[in-house]
Amino acid sequence: MRCSERLLVFGFAFNPYDESVLSLFRTDGSNLKNILLIDPDPPRERAAAIWPNANITAAPPPSFTNSCPIQVRLPLQFDL
């Protein structure tokens, strides 16, 4: 995470008792510029307290209303 500029967070509440994770975010996430929170009730204020200079956006999780909840478009490409 130290070299990353973007972070995608799924359903993490940033609760104070998650000390180890919050500490990791603070120390190793200092270069983050863009944070995307995927959560039905995104904790924007808590994330902003950790990354005050980052652009924090949020989106709800996808709703799976059809018979096939996961759709994948091929080809998949991952840059390492």
Query: pLDDT in tens for each of the 80 residues of the chain?
Result: 899 999 999 999 999 999 999 999 999 999 999 999 999 999 999 999 999 999 999 999 887 665 555 565 555 554 54
At residue 58, the pLDDT reads 94
Using omega within 30 degrees of 0 as the cis cutoff, is the peptide bond preceding 42 cis?
no
Task: Output the pTM of the full model.
Answer: 0.76
Position 18 scores a pLDDT of 94
pLDDT at 49: 95
- The reported pLDDT for the residue numbered 62 is 81
